[in-house]
Structure 1
Amino acid sequence: MCGIVGVAGRANAETVLIEGLRRLEYRGYDSAGLGVHCSDGRLRRARAPGKVSALETVMRPEVSGSTGIAHTRWATHGAPTEANAHPHQAGRVCLVHNGIIENYKSLRAELVACGRRFASETDTEVVAQLLDRELDGGADPKAALIATLGRLEGAFALAAIIEGEPGLVLGARRGAPLVAAVGDGASFLASDIMAITGEARSVIYLHEGDAVIVRPAGVEVLNAMGEVVDRPLVPAPASMAMAEKGNHRHFMQKEIYEQPEVVGRTLSAYVNAVSGRVRPREGVDFSKMTRLHIIGCGTASYAGQIAEYWFEGIAGLPVKVDIASEFRYRNPAFLEGDAALFISQSGETADTLEALRLCKAAGIVTIALVNSPHSSMAREADIVAPTLAGPEIGVASTKAFTCQLSALAALVVLAGAQRGRLSAEEQAGHIANLMAVPSLMAAALKVEQAIDRLASELAQASIVLYLGRNEFFPLALEGALKLKEISYIHAEGYAAGELKHGPIALIEDDVAVIVIAPHDALFAKTRSSIQEVRARGARVIAITDRPGADELDGETSAQLLLPRLTGMAAPIVSAVAVQLLAYYVAVHKGTDVDQPRNLAKSVTVE
């Protein structure tokens, strides 16, 4: 993930900023920069592609002061160049930003029409220009920030300094993490508390939609309506290990909450939002493929099964999904024009790696979809398709799974275009659907409290069944896997239409059945399955949307409401509820959420 650090009121703020960026290097990035409100009243920047060490080499003595912001960037809108590196400056404003501004194209066109000139290819510069325009119109910094935030759509965190406003840092978060903190005579902003551990004495974990005014003497927080609110000050973590979790109880919970940001980053690595197209990947030509094998283990395999529906339905490409441990031993038969895509978070999964080697030996084109660009699979595959989830500590995969789905969805659009199955307008429609995912995921996280209440009862269950149709069937399998991984409850996932072919025998009074039931084209079929299990005494929990909830009124024991979802965005966003449900059941059971028994994060032996 990209990193943000800000400081107000600290002598030689640039040293704090550089150290903060160093602590965030593990997240991955391709450029770095900082901006400082200098003692002569001017804003000065230093930016460089590459590592923080490269930034240090371009630092000049005059880039020094007591207030500043810094950033590590992973290129999304625009290549990793100095011009696209953060901070971006527009007039009096210097600004850094994580996430995606979904409506940046229309905002940019509006600003250009007003005579504003842009120096980068990024969506971030739009925010700096908007904020500067508000200031030019006479607004004070707080009013200018609130007005600017009201124009933005998407999931993001940002920090800004303003020329002529020494000792002031503005910040805001919507769907991406940001914390404020106070120390001895100074205050701070950061996307991760790790960046300011040791400097901060007390921390404010900002709520969704909060804006913040940071000054040396303290921090003022505004809610999404622009009203001043009190947010609790809590003691800052005393060690880096504690800081890694921030205000989250477990790494798994933190990683669930990181999804709007990392999914946005993954999508932006594949999509050219300006053109509404997926960027071609060297060596990938879906038009020449007769069949695509998708191979993985566990959660990665379920991501592949969801993508099977997409590749066949949208791109017209036949797909065969295999569990890696079975594929490598069943002596698979290949066709001319076959290609194979291997999914692994670590890129070191033993069975998947051996399956890749089997395909290479057979002369099959191999694609590795991995979260580790220097892994064995990335080195050995013909083509690498990265996911940009960042380090995932919790053994039960969460953000890696949704980043895999996001990358696969982008590849599906590319396949549809290359195979002549999608018009330019249809491609743009799919891209718009996917680029809305980060903000939809942020909205979906609001179901957390309802899930927490429900989980205390569900934790007493001895068996839980998950049902889904179409692409939600593999998501049902993933939900069951998550639950048994971390709560040790026996759980199974089924295609809802298969109930009558055996699984319905498991239904008896008080058996818990979780049904993923968005109000889509198959809703009526899914509703029939709900009625079947309910008639036999099951406690039905529906993961649905408002139209689905209205039709299911009185037919379920509980409903978990998600935003209205369509297209490939639907299973990606729905995964949030499935993950949170497993997480809170495990918490109520008191199991070791991050390191469940008998499991390892990366299975590197057979």
Structure 2
Amino acid sequence: MCGIVGILGSEPVADRLVEALRRLEYRGYDSAGVATLEGMAIARRRAEGKLHNLAKRLVEEPLEGTIGIGHTRWATHGAPTESNAHPHATDAVAVVHNGIIENFRALLADLAQDGYLPQTQTDTEVVALWVTRELARGATPEQAVANTLEHLHGAFALALMFHDHPGLLIAARRGAPLAVGYGENEIYLGSDAMALAPFTARLSYLEDGDWAIITHDGVIIRDASGEVVKRPVETSQASALLVDKGNHRHFMAKEIDEQPETISHTLSHYVDMASETAALREGLPFDFASLPRLTISACGTAYYAGCVAKYWFERYARLPVDIDVASEFRYREPPLMPNGLSLFISQSGETADTLAALRYCASQDQHIASLINTLESTIARESDVVFPILCGPEIGVASTKAFTAQLTALAGLAVAAGRARGVLTPEAERQLVHALVGLPSAVSEALRAETQIMEIARHLSRAKDVLYLGRGQMFPIAMEGALKLKEISYIHAEGYPAGELKHGPIALIDEDMPVIVVAPSDELVDKTLSNMQEVAARGGRIILITDEVGANAAGKDVAEIIRIPQVSSFVAPIVATIPVQLLAYHTAVAMGTDVDQPRNLAKSVTVE
């Protein structure tokens, strides 16, 4: 979602605000802007599109203020135009906002009675107008913000700057993340640690409901009740995570190529490679052996990782698993067995629906665990135990290395659960861990098919619809492949269980319909290949992802075979993920889309 930065400094801040915003590009955005105080006046520079447009504007019309706020916007209310870009301002106050003000229409109606009328289509402007009215009625900036916060409904983070207070920033957080950074004679605000990494590693994270008064004398943090509170100052490691594209055309390409290394990193946390045993390093607040049920909830790609994990936990640990997308789970309010384990998967750790599902489960006598890439996130902080995926920052909006890291961690957890529950013998555990230890090399081998996949993708780029088929553990990989293609190429695609083909989707098959079949040789491959023949009989163009054994059994009716190395069926979903990622990536490249920042998408979805 949107990104917020702020600097209360001693030197001009505009260029540094833009630098910080660049580190928030991974969240997705469609416009950007900064505001500083020039004397006693608020000055803004805003631009549609990418940050280089804003940077160019600042070269043409520089800002010299030593206090400022900045923003990358992902449109939720109003088109992505310059007038709708943040910061929003009146003569008295400027504001940047991440999230949604749910009751903004009612607030605007109230403001209109006093002649305060909006100039934009956004929900954010209501904050600037309400604060301005409070100031006009004689409130101090602190009082004006406190009174405004009482009237706002929704999930948001805010940063405000005032025209006649050149040494004051006020920030507030309700739902959306916000951090305060402490530098030498300067104080910073940011949506996450990465934004502030060029300036400081000393951060405080505002908790839900907090608001902060920032001056040169220091930071006063008040909680939702208005009481002054202290939040610990932590040393962030984000400064060690600076990334660039290297010699890759896109971050997504770089992140796909990084997967042998990132999977190795994840494995090192979850298995003892020397003894080939599971090795959980977290102190567990529960015992796998006594768990009655596991409930998994996540969104998007993380949900598909959970779907694969359901097969693993049920097969290798005999642990019953329920899984649902968080945006549905949170409203079903399902009955949960006491002392069950609820596991939440989120790359960012800030996904709004997943966080809401977590809080529901926490209220239902559940142990709370999370599988997270951002250990300083809200979901991580509200979990009883956090399982890190350790893949480093993922900049491309379409998840790649985070997905395979999630799968790798979940596989390690399933083995640990199987051992704890007495389902796996020591030899069976060793065999599964051995398969995991071989993953980096298998993934590296799978990446070698890229040249062939580039050629296939050129043909795929001309399709209007694509069907992905898989069975068993490969069904979630089929869904993930379809999602990736939709996300970055904008081609309509659907992932289906192969056994359901005759229950409807087969009606779509004709010579113009590419069908991608994910079918490494496992106990279900014969059934999947049988479904594939039904597609061939109706003229469908089949692209088969399989290993050498599956390729030999496929027959002659396959247009293309993408070979992956033959591995244990346990880890085959992870290896099969590589070609579906590459297919999506190279199809999008062939079509000329914005691969790293596809339209309408954001990396971290912090609102419903």
Q: TM-score of the superposition, structure 2-length normalised?
A: 0.59
CA contact (8 A) 1:417 1:423 kept: yes
CA contact (8 A) 1:430 1:567 kept: no
How far did residue 410 of structure 1 move? 0.2
* Alignment of structure 1 residues 92-491 onto 2, 5 Å: 244-280=244-280, 281-283=282-284, 284-491=286-493
CA contact (8 A) 2:445 2:565 kept: yes
Which consecutive unaligned segments of at least 5 residues does structure 2 have?
Answer: 1-23, 25-240
Aligned AA for 2:452?
A
Q: In the TM superposition, what whole-angstrom CA distance separates every residue of 1:93-131 from its partner, at most 9, and x where no partner exists?
A: xxxxxxxxxxxxxxxxxxxxxxxxxxxxxxxxxxxxxxx
The aligned counterpart of 1:501 is 503
Aligned AA for 1:467?
L
CA contact (8 A) 1:312 1:319 kept: yes
How far did residue 242 of structure 1 move? 12
2:592 to 547, 571, 590: 590
How far did residue 510 of structure 1 move? 2.2
CA contact (8 A) 2:541 2:559 kept: yes
CA contact (8 A) 2:339 2:365 kept: no
Aligned AA for 1:507?
I
Aligned AA for 2:283?
E
Q: In the TM superposition, what whole-angstrom CA distance separates every residue of 1:43-91 from its partner, at most 9, and x where no partner exists?
A: xxxxxxxxxxxxxxxxxxxxxxxxxxxxxxxxxxxxxxxxxxxxxxxxx
Paired-residue identity, %: 56
How far did residue 511 of structure 1 move? 0.5
How far did residue 243 of structure 1 move? 7.8
Q: Counterparts of 1:381 and 1:436 in 2: how far apart (Å)?
A: 31
Secondary structure of 1:385's counterpart equals strand
How far did residue 447 of structure 1 move? 0.6
Aligned AA for 2:462?
Q
How far did residue 274 of structure 1 move? 2.4
Aligned AA for 2:268?
S
Aligned AA for 2:244?
E
The aligned counterpart of 1:550 is 552
How far did residue 522 of structure 1 move? 1.0
Secondary structure of 1:540's counterpart equals strand
Q: Counterparts of 2:254 and 2:247 in 1: how far apart (Å)?
A: 8
CA contact (8 A) 2:333 2:360 kept: no
Q: In the TM superposition, what whole-angstrom CA distance separates every residue of 1:316-351 from its partner, at most 9, and x where no partner exists?
A: 000001100000001211113321000000000000
How far did residue 550 of structure 1 move? 1.5
Q: In the TM superposition, what whole-angstrom CA distance separates every residue of 1:232-266 from its partner, at most 9, and x where no partner exists?
A: xxxxxxxxx99811111100000000000011110
Q: Counterparts of 2:243 and 2:584 in 1: how far apart (Å)?
A: 24
Q: Counterparts of 2:317 and 2:438 in 1: how far apart (Å)?
A: 21
Q: Counterparts of 2:546 and 2:326 in 1: how far apart (Å)?
A: 32
How far did residue 506 of structure 1 move? 1.1
Q: Counterparts of 1:597 and 1:347 in 2: how far apart (Å)?
A: 22
Query: Does residue 596 of structure 2 align to residue 578 of structure 1?
Result: no
CA contact (8 A) 2:338 2:365 kept: no
Q: In the TM superposition, what whole-angstrom CA distance separates every residue of 1:193-243 from its partner, at most 9, and x where no partner exists?
A: xxxxxxxxxxxxxxxxxxxxxxxxxxxxxxxxxxxxxxxxxxxxxxxx998
* Alignment of structure 1 residues 526-565 onto 2, 5 Å: 526-565=528-567
Secondary structure of 1:328's counterpart equals helix
Aligned AA for 1:342?
F
Q: Counterparts of 1:584 and 1:461 in 2: how far apart (Å)?
A: 14
Q: Counterparts of 1:481 and 1:417 in 2: how far apart (Å)?
A: 34
How far did residue 276 of structure 1 move? 2.2
How far did residue 451 of structure 1 move? 0.3
- Residues 420 and 243 of structure 1, relative CA distance in 2, 3 Å threshold: closer
- Residues 423 and 453 of structure 1, relative CA distance in 2, 3 Å threshold: same
Q: In the TM superposition, what whole-angstrom CA distance separates every residue of 1:406-445 from its partner, at most 9, and x where no partner exists?
A: 0000000000001000111111111110010001100100
Runs of 4 or more consecutive aligned structure 1 residues displaced over 4 Å after TM superposition: none
Q: Counterparts of 1:487 and 1:321 in 2: how far apart (Å)?
A: 28
Q: Counterparts of 2:464 and 2:287 in 1: how far apart (Å)?
A: 48
How far did residue 353 of structure 1 move? 0.6
Q: Counterparts of 2:271 and 2:333 in 1: how far apart (Å)?
A: 37
Q: Counterparts of 1:517 and 1:254 in 2: how far apart (Å)?
A: 26
Q: Counterparts of 1:429 and 1:382 in 2: how far apart (Å)?
A: 30
Aligned AA for 1:355?
A
CA contact (8 A) 2:294 2:321 kept: yes
How far did residue 275 of structure 1 move? 2.6
Q: Counterparts of 1:461 and 1:273 in 2: how far apart (Å)?
A: 44
- Residues 322 and 360 of structure 1, relative CA distance in 2, 3 Å threshold: same
Aligned AA for 2:363?
A
CA contact (8 A) 2:259 2:404 kept: yes
Aligned AA for 1:247?
N
Secondary structure of 2:516's counterpart equals strand
Two-structure CA RMSD over aligned residues (Å): 1.7
The aligned counterpart of 1:134 is none
Aligned AA for 1:398?
T
Q: Counterparts of 2:388 and 2:570 in 1: how far apart (Å)?
A: 19
User: Which protein shows a greater Rg?
Assistant: 2
Q: Counterparts of 1:274 and 1:557 in 2: how far apart (Å)?
A: 43
